[in-house]
Amino acid sequence: MPAIRLQTLSGVPILNDREPASNYGQDGYRIRPYLDQAFAQRIERAFSFMFQGIAAAGLGQVTAILAHMPDGGDTNSESSYKSQLRAFSLDGLLLSQGRKWNAFSFPEKKFEYLLIEAHLRLHFGTVLGYGYDFATQDHLYFDDGEEPGFQPYSKSRVLFLQNAARYLFDRMIKVDGIYGPETQLAERRLRTELQIGKLTDLDNWTALLSAIIEEAQDRLADPSLQALTTEFVPT
């Protein structure tokens, strides 16, 4: 499809926060990036629902989107979709009342991060973020190269599942991106608790993502639910 130039996403301006580098996660200058039309329509839907979820969690209204739009890609896997204008790198969000969220803050703001990542995974198959590799420590990268769905041998999807199970549903498992026996057992028990079938079925994956969003919103809205389990550094 032809490329279109975005003025906003879901009515919110987009800022480049990488020039200078010290602006990262703080502020930036306004950009109007070109994206493939079909991808732009998909990201518009994703961000609209995401912003509603952020407001429902009591975090306020999103006032600006922090992003970087390099000519190439941050990793080899990102490069081709960026050149096709079918990819986006989300650095952070500016919120009302002076609040901020940036992708590098996963260790301190796991609930916010998982809420945002779950919304992206409802609409995109490829979502790379914190813990996937060094290049994606400071942004959430996503493209439309794959449709949404769970793949047990996808490192990024398994990392997300493990993080959600550990930090939102209190399953004390190792976070390493490997779909091993420990993760499989935790997943089965979680699905039983939530009354969800196998995650390779798209409807079940969508149901799990919805449950993750609801749990993250509940934790963020109620301070008494925000205590984190003991920190476990991904390997």
Over residues 67-107, the pLDDT tens digits come to 987 544 444 455 689 889 999 999 999 999 999 999 999 99
How much of the chain, in percent, has pLDDT values that exceed 90?
A: 80
In a domain, 39, yes or no: yes
In a domain, 230, yes or no: no
Q: What b/e readout covers 162-175, taking b as 16+ CB neighbours within 10 angstroms?
A: bbbbbbbeebebeb
In a domain, 235, yes or no: no
pLDDT(197) > 70: yes
Higher pLDDT, 226 or 120: 120
Identify the residue whose tokens are 């919805």: 210
Q: What b/e readout covers 5-28, taking b as 16+ CB neighbours within 10 angstroms?
A: ebeebbebbbbbbbeeeebbbeeb
d(CA 227, CA 21): 32
Nearest 10 degrees: CA dihedral of 32, 37, 40, 45? Answer: 140
Separation of CA 205 from chain center: 15
Q: CA end-to-end span of the chain, whole Å?
A: 40
Range of the domain at 193: 3-225
The bridge status of strand 29-31 relative to strand 14-16 is: antiparallel
Which pLDDT does position 130 carry in this prediction?
94
Domains in the chain: how many in total? Answer: 1
d(CA 86, CA 118): 19
**Residue 184 binned pLDDT confidence (cut-offs 50, 70, 90):** very high
For 50-116, the DSSP string reads: HHHHHHHTT---EEEEEE---SS-SSHHHHHHHHTT-EEEEEEEEEGGG-EEEGGGTTT-HHHHHHH
Which pLDDT does position 227 carry in this prediction?
56
CA-based torsion, 191, 196, 200, 206: positive or negative: negative
Higher pLDDT, 60 or 19: 60
Looking at residue 136, the DSSP 8-state letter turns out to be G
Instruction: Show the tokens assigned to 92.
Output: 């952070």
pLDDT(230) > 50: no
**Residue 231 binned pLDDT confidence (cut-offs 50, 70, 90):** very low
In a domain, 171, yes or no: yes
pLDDT digits (tens, 9 = 90+) for 31-58: 999 999 999 999 999 999 999 999 999 9
In a domain, 57, yes or no: yes
pLDDT(108) > 70: yes
